[in-house]
Amino acid sequence: MAVSNLWRGFSGAPAQVDLTSDGLRHAVLEDFEQTGLAWIWSSDAEGILNYLSPAAADALGIPLHALLGHPLTGLFETDPDDPDNRSGRPLGFQIKARNRISDVTVRCALPEARTGKPVWLLLSGQPKIDSTGRFHGYRGWAKDISVEYQRKIEDSRLAEFDSLTGLYNRHRMNRRLDGLLAAYRAAKRTCALMMLDLDRFKQVNDTMGHPAGDNLLQQVAERLRNIIGDRGEIGRLGGDEFQVIIPDVDDRGKLGDLAEKVIQIISQPYPIDDKRAIIGTSVGIAIAPYDGLETEELIRASDLALYAAKNGGRGQFRFYSADLKDEEEERQLLLDDLRQALESDQLELHYQPVVRVADNRVVGMEALMRWEHEERGWVSPGLFIPVAEDSSLIAPLGDWALHRACQDAAQWPATVRVAVNVSARQFTAAGFVDVVADALQASGLAPDRLELELTESVFMGDSDATDATFHALKQLGVRLALDDFGTGYSSLSYLRSAPFDKLKVDKSFVDTCTQKDQNSAKIITAIIGLSKALGMETTVEGVEAFDQLEVVKARGGELVQGWIFAKAMPQAMVLQNIHDGAFLIEPSGPDKHRPDRRSMFRRVGVIHGDHRYDAVIRDLSKTGAFIEGLVGVPLNTVFVLDLGNGQLVVSQVMRSEGAQLGVEFETPLVSDGAGGLCTRHRVSPYALAAAGMPLSSLQQGQSQLGHAPGPGSAPQFLQVQVGSGG
């Protein structure tokens, strides 16, 4: 097309300007095109590019003939993330609708354009329609904005990415979650949200400095990228808080496995300069639409689950449930009560025997803190110890335990040692060695009868100060034990550099040591062998059944601690046992360990046909349950257990005696992260909405299925009332 004709078409009417010649007009337009201020383009009625300023082709790095004759939509594409695209419509839509195109940002879609460097254009155009209403195509202009737009992209990236780790920041994660949840509501899809908080990160900052803390956060981010991969999106919300969005996953078995992997990998040591930092993490998980339909709901649910994980002992994950309270407020109330309990001498130490299996003689006792609250009852140490560790209360609490344990042990036979747990924060506190010395002197206990149980977290921070504390303690003559060996980092360098007298095999290995598909028995063997090779003792914790005891003895275990010998007992009972004669304990317990069996009294629904019955669960395991409340149920009957909160389990009756039923689950339950069990999947609120119920997140304890509407068959079973003592 001649430039003069193009100009007439561009102006929308025959030119009225009195120019001396078409040649001058042509020259003026060519000069304008060569300035690079803007280029001219046109298309025919089919959207085929039929004119483009030669300078534009030069800027794109593509021959002009390779551009002309091609559809405009195949040459240029709209940036979907461009906030300046005022219409919000892609270029193809606007051309097809014959709309006016006004300052739309497009990118050259041809791969040969400036190899490796995108070209961004600001495109405008007017539809050319004659007096009869016939559409002839577009006449337009364009401008190269690559430099400015690339700068805008970078500015946008900085606004949405964390500058330290390169992960998304809070703003980007919230925006992404908003978009996903809105789209997924329409598509009836699910989305999981994980909230992470690093444990003991503040201690790294305090002991190793902020540059070390920054380095640590960068390493954490890299580990999260490797774990999550393309399964989700990761953000750092600030400080030591991270968030992971995982689309289209509602399987709590898979999510729990992923959370455990995150906890395990994040808890491995971090090399920083010539030192090693050790931290952990806690994880809270919420799932849309079950735990929330809106962004704020889901974030709050995952926050509450995270608080529950931290309060449960750290290094754990929790799924959200609607009965979680405001954990931050609850935590502060617990701390206030604990401080009052310490001041008013309401705390106790109970002692669990360590038994030599060769002759069943007690050779030691582990001091375990107990607290009976006047309103709460017995409060778990797994609940109040982490609260104390996060406050200044851990130091006086630890001092009290050391003094009380030494005083009590001084009344035992000289052959029996006492073991006291020492937190990392207590161990690294100034004056800790003096506290130990004072406790020994005040009680008159021989130093070699005191055993301090430490975890690998004591190696975090200043290694010189740690070594000096070890040396000072050994100068006092006390014994040192490495607790929970095999569950954390278990670096052999700890055993080489620290003067331990004992390794303690964690209960988790004992729990599964009789299972054929586990390597726990081999790990117990390896730890015992390593300990003997280094001239150390080994205590195996958590032995509860005779089959476990036989495995431990066969693998070379000599010292055992667990319920098969005795639970922790108060000092008065210890003294009574000593008074009654030789301190010997015969093992007593079940023949076989039954993992994950939980005694309870919990009302559930039993759905059979179009009837729903009320019953009570007495025992629950991953693969089955013991139920009371229905009479006349034949063997092999299949029904659905409604555990509440949308949890339905297909079950088959394997035992039926009176009102008592033993059932086996079609699909095993999974861990809920809190020591309990839950179903992998739940009834979707979308399915409930399709059945006529309001679309809302599921409520805890809510029975989602009831009697079928309309007439139905007669109930086949007799329902009987069951009480908590029945």
pLDDT reading at 401 higher than 90? yes
Model pLDDT for residues 52-99, shown as the tens digit of each residue: 988 888 878 888 888 899 898 888 887 655 555 544 567 788 888 888
CB 402 within 8 A of CB 369: no
Average pLDDT value for residue range 340-357: 93
Asked whether residue 153 carries a pLDDT value surpassing 90, the answer given is no
Does residue 314 surpass a pLDDT of 50?
yes
Q: Using 50, 70 and 90 to split pLDDT, how confident is the model at 461?
A: low
Q: What is the 3-state secondary structure (H, E, C) of 277-327?
A: ECCEEEEEEEEECCCCCCHHHHHHHHHHHHHHHHHCCCCCEEECCCCCCCH
- What is this structure's pTM? 0.63
Q: Tell how far CA 575 is from the center of its chain.
A: 45
Q: Is 625 in a helix, a strand, or coil? A: strand
Q: Taking all residues of the chain, what is their mean pLDDT, rounded to a whole number? A: 84
Query: How far is 220 from 270, CA to CA, in rounded Å?
Result: 9
Higher-pLDDT residue of 107 and 260 is 260
Whose CA is closest to 557, among 358, 418, 353? 358
Cα–Cα distances (Å) from 702 to 287, 641, 646, in that order, read 17, 13, 7
Structure confidence at residue 21 as a pLDDT band (50, 70, 90): low
Which range has the worst mean pLDDT, 31-40, 506-515, 666-675?
31-40
The whole-angstrom separation of Cα 625 and Cα 267 is 35
Q: Are 487 and 520 in contact (CB under 8 A)?
A: no
Strand ranges (E), 26-144:
39-43, 49-52, 76-78, 101-108, 120-129, 135-144
- Whether the link from the prior residue into 211 is cis, omega within 30° of 0, is no
**Per-residue pLDDT tens for 610-660?**
888 999 988 888 889 999 989 999 999 999 998 888 899 999 999 999 889
Residue 52 one-letter amino acid:
L
Q: Average pLDDT of 314-324?
A: 84
Rounded Cα–Cα distance for residues 98 and 77 (Å): 17
Average pLDDT rounded to a whole number, residues 237-247: 95
What pLDDT shows up at residue 517? 66
pLDDT for residue 7 is more than 60: no
Q: Are 334 and 350 in contact (CB under 8 A)?
A: no
CB distance 113 to 103 below 8 Å: no
Residue 725 has pLDDT above 60, yes or no: no
Comparison of pLDDT for 600 and 235, the residue scoring more? 235
Query: What is the distance between the alpha carbons of residues 37 and 433, in angstroms, rounded to a whole number?
Result: 77
Query: Across 471-610, where does the E strand assignment appear?
Result: 479-485, 502-505, 537-541, 559-561, 569-570, 598-608
User: Which H or E run contains 190?
Assistant: none
Per-residue model confidence (pLDDT) at position 218: 96
Q: What is the pLDDT at residue 710?
A: 45
State the pairing for strand pair 450-454/417-421. Answer: parallel
pLDDT in tens, 174-190: 999 999 999 888 888 99
Residue among 1, 9, 38, 48 nearest 127 (CA): 9
Query: Is residue 122 over pLDDT 80?
Result: yes
pLDDT, greater one: 518 or 125: 125
Asked whether the predicted pLDDT for residue 220 surpasses 80, the reply is yes
Alpha carbon 243 to chain centroid, angstroms = 8
**What whole-number distance in Å separates Cα of residue 127 and Cα of residue 266?**
59
The answer to which of 100-109, 176-185, 348-357, 404-413 has the lowest mean pLDDT is 100-109
Is the pLDDT at 224 greater than 70? The verdict is yes
* pLDDT for 687 beyond 90: no
In the chain the domains, ranked by start, together with CATH numbers, are: 3-152 (3.30.450.20), 161-324 (3.30.70.270), 344-579 (3.20.20.450), 598-719 (2.40.10)
Rounded to 5°, the CA angle 25-28-34 comes to 140
Query: Of the given ranges (430-434, 708-712, 716-720), which has the lowest mean pLDDT?
Result: 708-712
Cβ neighbours of residue 68 closer than 8 Å, sequence gap 6 or more: 49, 50, 51, 52
Identify the pLDDT of residue 9: 43
The pLDDT score that the predictor gives to residue 28 is 74
Average pLDDT, integer, range 426-455: 93
Taking 90 as the threshold, does the pLDDT of residue 421 lie above it?
Answer: yes
pLDDT band at residue 148, thresholds of 50, 70 and 90?
confident
User: Are the C-beta atoms of residues 606 and 577 closer than 8 Å to each other?
Assistant: no
Report the pLDDT value the prediction gives residue 79, as an integer from 0 to 100. Answer: 67
Residues 6+ apart with CB under 8 A from 290: 190, 250, 645, 646, 682, 684, 685, 697, 698
Residue 360 pLDDT greater than 80, yes or no: yes
Among all chains, which residue has been given the structure tokens 């699910």?
A: 190
- Over 90: is that where the pLDDT of 232 sits? yes
User: In what helix (H) or strand (E) does residue 397 lie, and over which residues does it extend?
Assistant: helix 394-409
Half-sphere exposure of 240 (CA within 13 A, CB side): 22
